[in-house]
Amino acid sequence: MGIRVRGLYDLQVIDLEIDEAERNLRVVESGLGESEELRSARESLAQASEWQAELRRRLRNLELDLEEAIEKRKASEKTLYSGKVKSPKELSGLEQEVQLLKRRQVEVEDETLEVMSQLETADERLERERKRLKRLEIEWGEEQAELQEKQAALSSRLSLLRESRERLQVAIDPEDLATYEDLRRRKGRQGVALVQNGICQGCGVAVSTSKVTRVLRGEELVHCANCERILYLKG
Ligand SMILES: [Zn+2]
Protein backbone atom coordinates (compact mmCIF):
# COMPACT_ATOMS: atom_id res chain seq x y z
CA MET A 1 0.00 0.00 0.00
CA GLY A 2 1.32 3.43 -0.99
CA ILE A 3 1.39 6.65 0.96
CA ARG A 4 -2.27 7.58 1.35
CA VAL A 5 -1.69 11.34 1.38
CA ARG A 6 0.44 11.42 -1.78
CA GLY A 7 -2.56 11.59 -4.11
CA LEU A 8 -3.92 14.53 -2.16
CA TYR A 9 -0.57 16.27 -2.31
CA ASP A 10 -0.37 15.79 -6.09
CA LEU A 11 -3.95 17.00 -6.37
CA GLN A 12 -3.07 20.11 -4.39
CA VAL A 13 -0.14 20.88 -6.70
CA ILE A 14 -2.62 20.90 -9.58
CA ASP A 15 -5.30 22.74 -7.60
CA LEU A 16 -2.85 25.54 -6.79
CA GLU A 17 -1.93 25.79 -10.47
CA ILE A 18 -5.63 25.90 -11.36
CA ASP A 19 -6.16 28.66 -8.77
CA GLU A 20 -3.33 30.68 -10.29
CA ALA A 21 -4.49 30.18 -13.87
CA GLU A 22 -8.03 31.19 -12.85
CA ARG A 23 -6.70 34.30 -11.12
CA ASN A 24 -4.70 35.25 -14.22
CA LEU A 25 -7.68 34.57 -16.45
CA ARG A 26 -9.85 36.88 -14.35
CA VAL A 27 -7.24 39.64 -14.65
CA VAL A 28 -7.02 39.13 -18.42
CA GLU A 29 -10.79 39.05 -18.85
CA SER A 30 -11.26 42.20 -16.79
CA GLY A 31 -9.05 43.97 -19.35
CA LEU A 32 -11.16 42.82 -22.30
CA GLY A 33 -13.72 45.21 -23.70
CA GLU A 34 -13.99 48.96 -24.05
CA SER A 35 -11.59 50.88 -21.80
CA GLU A 36 -12.55 53.92 -19.72
CA GLU A 37 -9.89 55.94 -21.55
CA LEU A 38 -11.39 55.05 -24.92
CA ARG A 39 -14.91 55.89 -23.76
CA SER A 40 -13.81 59.30 -22.48
CA ALA A 41 -11.84 59.99 -25.69
CA ARG A 42 -14.99 59.24 -27.72
CA GLU A 43 -16.97 61.59 -25.51
CA SER A 44 -14.39 64.37 -25.87
CA LEU A 45 -14.47 63.98 -29.63
CA ALA A 46 -18.28 64.17 -29.65
CA GLN A 47 -18.15 67.33 -27.51
CA ALA A 48 -15.51 68.93 -29.76
CA SER A 49 -17.60 68.10 -32.80
CA GLU A 50 -20.75 69.54 -31.23
CA TRP A 51 -18.93 72.75 -30.30
CA GLN A 52 -17.63 73.13 -33.85
CA ALA A 53 -21.15 72.63 -35.27
CA GLU A 54 -22.52 75.18 -32.80
CA LEU A 55 -19.93 77.79 -33.87
CA ARG A 56 -20.68 77.11 -37.55
CA ARG A 57 -24.38 77.68 -36.83
CA ARG A 58 -23.57 80.96 -35.09
CA LEU A 59 -21.43 82.02 -38.03
CA ARG A 60 -24.23 81.30 -40.51
CA ASN A 61 -26.69 83.28 -38.40
CA LEU A 62 -24.25 86.20 -38.24
CA GLU A 63 -23.90 86.13 -42.03
CA LEU A 64 -27.69 86.35 -42.30
CA ASP A 65 -27.78 89.17 -39.74
CA LEU A 66 -25.14 91.05 -41.72
CA GLU A 67 -27.00 90.66 -45.00
CA GLU A 68 -30.18 91.83 -43.34
CA ALA A 69 -28.53 94.92 -41.82
CA ILE A 70 -26.93 95.86 -45.14
CA GLU A 71 -30.15 95.40 -47.10
CA LYS A 72 -32.18 97.39 -44.61
CA ARG A 73 -29.60 100.17 -44.60
CA LYS A 74 -29.56 100.31 -48.40
CA ALA A 75 -33.33 100.48 -48.48
CA SER A 76 -33.38 103.30 -45.92
CA GLU A 77 -30.66 105.19 -47.79
CA LYS A 78 -32.58 104.80 -51.02
CA THR A 79 -35.68 106.30 -49.44
CA LEU A 80 -33.57 108.98 -47.74
CA TYR A 81 -31.94 110.16 -50.97
CA SER A 82 -34.95 109.59 -53.23
CA GLY A 83 -36.26 113.09 -52.67
CA LYS A 84 -39.70 111.70 -52.04
CA VAL A 85 -39.56 112.25 -48.29
CA LYS A 86 -39.99 115.93 -47.49
CA SER A 87 -40.92 116.03 -43.82
CA PRO A 88 -37.83 117.00 -41.72
CA LYS A 89 -39.06 114.77 -38.89
CA GLU A 90 -39.26 111.76 -41.22
CA LEU A 91 -35.90 112.58 -42.77
CA SER A 92 -34.13 112.75 -39.45
CA GLY A 93 -35.83 109.50 -38.46
CA LEU A 94 -34.46 107.84 -41.59
CA GLU A 95 -30.97 109.24 -40.93
CA GLN A 96 -31.05 107.82 -37.42
CA GLU A 97 -32.10 104.45 -38.75
CA VAL A 98 -29.22 104.43 -41.25
CA GLN A 99 -26.77 105.22 -38.42
CA LEU A 100 -28.24 102.46 -36.26
CA LEU A 101 -27.96 99.96 -39.08
CA LYS A 102 -24.35 100.96 -39.73
CA ARG A 103 -23.54 100.39 -36.04
CA ARG A 104 -25.37 97.06 -36.20
CA GLN A 105 -23.25 96.08 -39.21
CA VAL A 106 -20.01 96.86 -37.32
CA GLU A 107 -21.24 94.88 -34.30
CA VAL A 108 -22.09 91.86 -36.45
CA GLU A 109 -18.73 92.08 -38.22
CA ASP A 110 -16.87 92.22 -34.89
CA GLU A 111 -18.85 89.26 -33.59
CA THR A 112 -18.14 87.36 -36.81
CA LEU A 113 -14.41 87.84 -36.33
CA GLU A 114 -14.69 86.63 -32.73
CA VAL A 115 -16.66 83.51 -33.74
CA MET A 116 -14.25 82.80 -36.61
CA SER A 117 -11.34 82.86 -34.19
CA GLN A 118 -13.23 80.52 -31.85
CA LEU A 119 -14.00 78.25 -34.77
CA GLU A 120 -10.32 78.06 -35.64
CA THR A 121 -9.58 76.89 -32.09
CA ALA A 122 -12.50 74.47 -32.27
CA ASP A 123 -11.19 73.00 -35.56
CA GLU A 124 -7.78 72.47 -33.97
CA ARG A 125 -9.33 70.86 -30.91
CA LEU A 126 -11.44 68.54 -33.05
CA GLU A 127 -8.42 67.49 -35.09
CA ARG A 128 -6.48 66.84 -31.88
CA GLU A 129 -9.31 64.74 -30.42
CA ARG A 130 -9.62 62.77 -33.67
CA LYS A 131 -5.92 61.94 -33.66
CA ARG A 132 -6.00 61.03 -29.98
CA LEU A 133 -8.95 58.68 -30.44
CA LYS A 134 -7.34 57.06 -33.46
CA ARG A 135 -4.09 56.47 -31.55
CA LEU A 136 -6.00 55.06 -28.57
CA GLU A 137 -8.04 52.78 -30.82
CA ILE A 138 -4.90 51.37 -32.39
CA GLU A 139 -3.26 50.83 -28.99
CA TRP A 140 -6.47 49.34 -27.64
CA GLY A 141 -6.78 46.99 -30.62
CA GLU A 142 -3.24 45.71 -30.11
CA GLU A 143 -3.80 45.30 -26.40
CA GLN A 144 -7.06 43.44 -26.98
CA ALA A 145 -5.41 41.07 -29.44
CA GLU A 146 -2.71 40.36 -26.88
CA LEU A 147 -5.28 39.80 -24.13
CA GLN A 148 -7.33 37.49 -26.35
CA GLU A 149 -4.21 35.48 -27.05
CA LYS A 150 -3.49 35.24 -23.32
CA GLN A 151 -7.10 34.33 -22.64
CA ALA A 152 -6.99 31.50 -25.16
CA ALA A 153 -3.68 30.18 -23.77
CA LEU A 154 -4.94 30.30 -20.17
CA SER A 155 -8.22 28.64 -21.09
CA SER A 156 -6.53 25.74 -22.80
CA ARG A 157 -4.05 25.41 -19.91
CA LEU A 158 -6.98 25.35 -17.50
CA SER A 159 -8.79 22.63 -19.36
CA LEU A 160 -5.62 20.52 -19.41
CA LEU A 161 -5.15 21.06 -15.66
CA ARG A 162 -8.78 20.17 -14.99
CA GLU A 163 -8.41 16.97 -17.00
CA SER A 164 -5.33 16.03 -14.95
CA ARG A 165 -7.26 16.78 -11.81
CA GLU A 166 -10.11 14.52 -12.90
CA ARG A 167 -7.68 11.67 -13.50
CA LEU A 168 -5.99 12.12 -10.12
CA GLN A 169 -9.24 12.48 -8.24
CA VAL A 170 -10.51 9.08 -9.33
CA ALA A 171 -7.74 7.35 -7.37
CA ILE A 172 -8.45 9.23 -4.12
CA ASP A 173 -10.71 7.97 -1.35
CA PRO A 174 -13.88 10.16 -1.39
CA GLU A 175 -13.70 10.77 2.36
CA ASP A 176 -10.08 11.91 2.13
CA LEU A 177 -11.07 14.14 -0.74
CA ALA A 178 -13.88 15.71 1.31
CA THR A 179 -11.48 16.33 4.22
CA TYR A 180 -8.99 17.92 1.84
CA GLU A 181 -11.62 20.12 0.16
CA ASP A 182 -12.92 21.28 3.52
CA LEU A 183 -9.42 22.19 4.73
CA ARG A 184 -8.68 23.93 1.45
CA ARG A 185 -11.75 26.10 1.88
CA ARG A 186 -10.82 27.01 5.44
CA LYS A 187 -7.02 27.18 5.15
CA GLY A 188 -6.25 29.57 2.33
CA ARG A 189 -6.63 27.05 -0.51
CA GLN A 190 -4.04 24.74 1.05
CA GLY A 191 -5.24 21.54 2.73
CA VAL A 192 -1.97 19.61 2.67
CA ALA A 193 1.25 20.87 4.26
CA LEU A 194 4.76 19.53 3.79
CA VAL A 195 6.86 18.63 6.79
CA GLN A 196 10.44 19.85 6.41
CA ASN A 197 13.07 19.41 9.15
CA GLY A 198 10.26 18.48 11.52
CA ILE A 199 8.38 21.74 10.85
CA CYS A 200 4.89 22.03 9.33
CA GLN A 201 5.31 24.28 6.28
CA GLY A 202 1.69 25.33 6.53
CA CYS A 203 2.06 27.12 9.85
CA GLY A 204 5.72 26.91 10.88
CA VAL A 205 5.09 24.92 14.06
CA ALA A 206 7.13 21.79 14.95
CA VAL A 207 5.49 18.42 14.38
CA SER A 208 5.95 15.78 17.12
CA THR A 209 8.23 12.85 16.31
CA SER A 210 5.40 10.37 16.76
CA LYS A 211 3.33 12.23 14.17
CA VAL A 212 6.26 12.33 11.76
CA THR A 213 6.55 8.56 12.15
CA ARG A 214 2.84 8.14 11.37
CA VAL A 215 3.17 10.45 8.36
CA LEU A 216 6.08 8.36 7.10
CA ARG A 217 4.10 5.16 7.55
CA GLY A 218 1.45 6.71 5.31
CA GLU A 219 -1.46 4.53 6.36
CA GLU A 220 -3.69 7.36 7.58
CA LEU A 221 -4.20 11.10 7.20
CA VAL A 222 -2.21 12.83 9.95
CA HIS A 223 -3.18 16.41 10.78
CA CYS A 224 -0.94 19.19 12.10
CA ALA A 225 -1.86 19.79 15.77
CA ASN A 226 -1.62 23.51 15.19
CA CYS A 227 -3.10 24.33 11.74
CA GLU A 228 -5.05 21.12 11.12
CA ARG A 229 -3.61 20.67 7.63
CA ILE A 230 -2.91 17.14 6.43
CA LEU A 231 0.82 16.49 6.78
CA TYR A 232 2.97 15.07 4.02
CA LEU A 233 6.64 14.14 3.90
CA LYS A 234 8.21 13.89 0.48
CA GLY A 235 10.03 10.57 0.22
ZN1 LIG B 1 0.62 23.30 10.64
pLDDT in tens, 70-92: 999 999 999 999 989 889 999 99
> What share of the chain has pLDDT > 70, as a percent?
99
pLDDT in tens, 167-177: 999 999 999 99
Ligand 1 center–CA 193 separation, angstroms: 7
Ligand 1 center–CA 158 separation, angstroms: 29
Ligand 1 center–CA 115 separation, angstroms: 77
pLDDT in tens, 51-68: 999 999 999 999 999 999
> Does the structure show a pLDDT above 60 at 1?
no
Read out DSSP for the chain? ---TTHHHHHHHHHHHHHHHHHHHHHHHHHTSS--HHHHHHHHHHHHHHHHHHHHHHHHHHHHHHHHHHHHHHHHHHHHHHSS----HHHHHHHHHHHHHHHHHHHHHHHHHHHHHHHHHHHHHHHHHHHHHHHHHHHHHHHHHHHHHHHHHHHHHHHHHHHHHHHHHHHTS-HHHHHHHHHHHHHTTT--EEEEETTEETTT-PBPPHHHHHHHHHTSS--B-TTT-PEEE---
Ligand 1 center–CA 178 separation, angstroms: 19
> What share of the chain has pLDDT > 90, as a percent?
94
Predicted confidence at residue 234, as pLDDT, reads 87
Q: What is the mean pLDDT of residues 134-149?
A: 96
Ligand 1 center–CA 79 separation, angstroms: 109
User: Please, which pLDDT band fits residue 192 given cuts at 50, 70 and 90?
Assistant: very high
Predicted confidence at residue 3, as pLDDT, reads 85
Closest CA to 193 of 167, 221, 174, 213: 221
pTM: 0.71
What domains can be seen in the chain, in order of their start residue? 6-24+173-232 (no CATH), 31-170 (1.10.287)
> Does the structure show a pLDDT above 80 at 193?
yes
Ligand 1 center–CA 216 separation, angstroms: 16
User: Please, which pLDDT band fits residue 2 given cuts at 50, 70 and 90?
Assistant: low
Ligand 1 center–CA 176 separation, angstroms: 18
